[in-house]
Structure 1
Amino acid sequence: MSPAEEFRQIADWCDANHVARDFYGEGELIAGLERKVAGLLGKQAAVFMPTGKMAQAVALRIWTERAGVDRVGLHPTAHPVIHEAESYQALFNIHGVIVGHRLRPLTAADLDAQAQPMACLMVELPLREAGGLLPAWEDLVALRDHAAARALPLHMDGARLWESLPFYERDAATVAGLFQSVYVSLYKGIGGIAGAILAGDADFVAEARLWQKRLGGVVVQLSPMIASIALRFDHRLAMMDALHRRAVDLARSLSRVPGIRIAPEVPATNMMHVYLDAPPERLQSARDAIARAHGVWVVPDARPAEVPGWSLVELTVGDTILELPDADVVVWWRRLLEEARS
């Protein structure tokens, strides 16, 4: 969809729903979305923020201030660590305590092995850098129980929480109920222009609004962003089961191609890591050649895998792949690998 097409869609939806402008975070459009997501997450309140990075930083700031402890527990691949230039430390002088192993979800044993005092523990669901891996429900409950025994709040990095629900076969409120605060993305699986929700108890969200203002996150008008989310929110949530099933089927088919391996072997969400027996530069050269010759963009950018000569591609099953049979997808991956290795 082009920007012009998306903006027309937003305008039509606003016209049909008699949408009024919001003003500095006030207005029924934004308030209605906040109430809706808070209800889905089973939390007392929620606040919309323009970015997930802001939401996560605010959550960590609140928990450290409440605890009087400047350390927070973070997985080795936590988004603030590897994608945000350690913003929590630069902005708030918060120190990260690394908990767990980078290739698997956090466990109760990981927490027990870390004796340092922490203000909270951030838990990412799913673990993006492990191909969307999720802990078993029993393991997640055990982590919650061990954290509770230490009076340690759990904060969920739920950027892909919606995509995780089919795996757990539980609703969002049940999963979020294990956590004292939750961040969810409204652009990844939902498809909005941008935006995030930070949810928790009423006092937590009141503090979050204050920090949002301090960080310059209260924007004069957010109507286009909110409308782009609201017009597709219910529809996108309803697609998560189908996207997950499609990812599982596609992973099975791709894994039969010599030189391709999938992690996790059975995807927990609609994303997976695809390992290919070809170096990234050759893979991307072959991809670009296929795109020029056939108008088919097979894969996003590849990066070096830990095995020399192999590449890693993060694959997310979305609307396009959802409608294509396995054979029509696999044939291009097979050709891509053949050309990269020739």
Structure 2
Amino acid sequence: MAPEIRRSLVQHSLLRRDPHAVLRRLLEHVPPGTRPDAPGKELEQRIADLLGKPAALFFPSGTMAQQTALRVHAERTGRRTFAAHPQCHLAVWEEEGYNAVHGLRHKQVGDHHGLITFDDLAEVREPLAALLLELPQRDIGGLLPTWEDLVAQTKWARDGGAAAHMDGARLWEAQTYYERPFAEIADLFDTVYVSLYKGLEGVRGAVLAGDQETIDAASVWRRRLGGATPDAWPPAVTALMGLDEVLPRMAEFRDHARAVAAAINADGYARTRPEVPQTPLFHIHLPASKDAVAAAAKRILEETGVELPQHPKASPDPTRCGIELTIGVASLEFTPQEVADLIRQLR
């Protein structure tokens, strides 16, 4: 029998996704007589307006949304290669679907452990369909380029005839770093994908935004890939709830993340990357092996009901590993010192 989760520092914890609790909240937000297609249409329009784009389209997953965007850009340009970081989501988490399904090629740009630089882009010698930039770069600690770098890199793509595409799975969190309107950030990009279940804490789904012609083409590929699902109102409603209730709290989450990171670094057992988080997401580097940390997290859950990240990432040094922490609604229940004390137990 799985141990009971009573408190959690895991963003996608079963504690937050409890079906009974989600259904109760849905009832509060869906009045009698609501048409099944109404929440989805409202969601698409709200995100298009928020990002300053002419059109937006709901997808059942971010994986499908991003591959679709790149496919459309490839067909528009007649090019099959897109440039992106070696640790972008498409490379790490999607089984090379961009190639297996769409015949696209990923040109890796930049260092595995650092942000893409303009000098990295200058080394690209082949025509591109698109430049994909992930904001923030999750797998290197939630790092973000400066505004000046972001402007220069997206301009570089467009000047070369390529589209600029944003993996904005965590754009909601990244905005707290740039402190500019969402539409001003999105204006640098031809297409923008945003997640509905990460920062917004919905149940699933994604939205792709861009110009009307691109979104119309994307709608064809969404149907071809089986993503034009009817009755998609449950994820749409939970996303609308997130826009109303969670999105306004992103700066609060970022500030708490910084306080948590400061407590961890002051303790001295572990270190965070970055030292001062730029968003509510950051990494914690521990002086213990991956197996030891996983076993300790399991023990803490069994003994206390407190859920910590269960899947640490190995380091080139086998005596060290790292975990990812994202501060959201549930993790605000933990004081910074509580988190630092729990991290010290991961050994």
Give the structure-2-normalised TM-score: 0.92
Instruction: Tell me the distance in 1 between the aligned counterparts of 2:58 and 2:264.
Output: 38
Stretch of structure 1 that moved more, 318-327 or 81-90 = 318-327
CA contact (8 A) 2:166 2:189 kept: yes
Q: Secondary structure at the match of 1:157?
A: strand
Q: Secondary structure at the match of 1:56?
A: helix
Instruction: Tell me the distance in 1 between the aligned counterparts of 2:308 and 2:131.
Output: 38
Stretch of structure 1 that moved more, 312-321 or 166-175 = 312-321
AA of the residue aligned to 1:20: R
AA of the residue aligned to 1:123: L
Question: Corresponding residue for 2:233?
Answer: 223
Question: Corresponding residue for 1:150?
Answer: 160
Question: Corresponding residue for 1:9?
Answer: 25
1:20 aligned onto 2:30 = no
Q: Deviations over 1:210-261 (max 9, x none)?
A: 1111111111211111111112322111010000111111111101223301
Instruction: Tell me the distance in 2 between the aligned counterparts of 1:20 and 1:214.
Output: 25
**1:125 to partner: Cα distance:** 0.5
AA of the residue aligned to 2:234: P
User: Any residues of structure 2 matched to 1:293-332 within 5 Å, and which?
Assistant: 293-332=303-342
Q: Secondary structure at the match of 2:208?
A: strand
Matched-pair identity in %: 37
AA of the residue aligned to 2:192: V
For 1:273, which of 243, 266, 283 is the aligned residue? 283
Q: Deviations over 1:136-166 (max 9, x none)?
A: 1111111122223212210000000000001
Stretch of structure 1 that moved more, 138-147 or 234-243 = 138-147
Which runs of 5 or more residues in structure 1 are unaligned? 23-27
**1:97 to partner: Cα distance:** 1.2
Question: Corresponding residue for 1:52?
Answer: 62
For 2:207, which of 197, 200, 213 is the aligned residue? 197
AA of the residue aligned to 1:5: A
Instruction: Tell me the distance in 2 between the aligned counterparts of 1:321 and 1:216.
Output: 35
Instruction: Tell me the distance in 2 between the aligned counterparts of 1:138 and 1:104.
Output: 17
AA of the residue aligned to 2:134: E
**1:120 to partner: Cα distance:** 0.7
Give the structure-1-normalised TM-score: 0.93
Q: Secondary structure at the match of 1:321?
A: helix
Moved >3 Å (runs of 4+): none
CA contact (8 A) 1:104 1:127 kept: no
Which runs of 5 or more residues in structure 2 are unaligned? 1-15
User: Any residues of structure 2 matched to 1:108-257 within 5 Å, and which?
Assistant: 108-257=118-267
Q: Deviations over 1:152-185 (max 9, x none)?
A: 2100000000000010011110111100100000
Instruction: Tell me the distance in 2 between the aligned counterparts of 1:94 and 1:282.
Output: 39
Stretch of structure 1 that moved more, 284-293 or 94-103 = 284-293
Instruction: Tell me the distance in 1 between the aligned counterparts of 2:320 and 2:222.
Output: 43
Question: Corresponding residue for 2:9?
Answer: none
AA of the residue aligned to 2:114: R
AA of the residue aligned to 1:243: F
Instruction: Tell me the distance in 1 between the aligned counterparts of 2:61 and 2:205.
Output: 5
Q: Deviations over 1:266-294 (max 9, x none)?
A: 11110111011111111222222222222
AA of the residue aligned to 1:167: Y
**1:195 to partner: Cα distance:** 0.6
Question: Corresponding residue for 1:25?
Answer: none
**1:99 to partner: Cα distance:** 1.4
1:77 aligned onto 2:77 = no
Instruction: Tell me the distance in 2 between the aligned counterparts of 1:149 and 1:320.
Output: 44
- Select the structure with the greater relative contact order (CA < 8 A; seq sep ≥ 6): 2
Q: CA RMSD in A?
A: 1.4
AA of the residue aligned to 2:322: L
1:287 aligned onto 2:297 = yes
**1:105 to partner: Cα distance:** 2.1
Stretch of structure 1 that moved more, 223-232 or 162-171 = 223-232
Q: Secondary structure at the match of 2:266?
A: coil
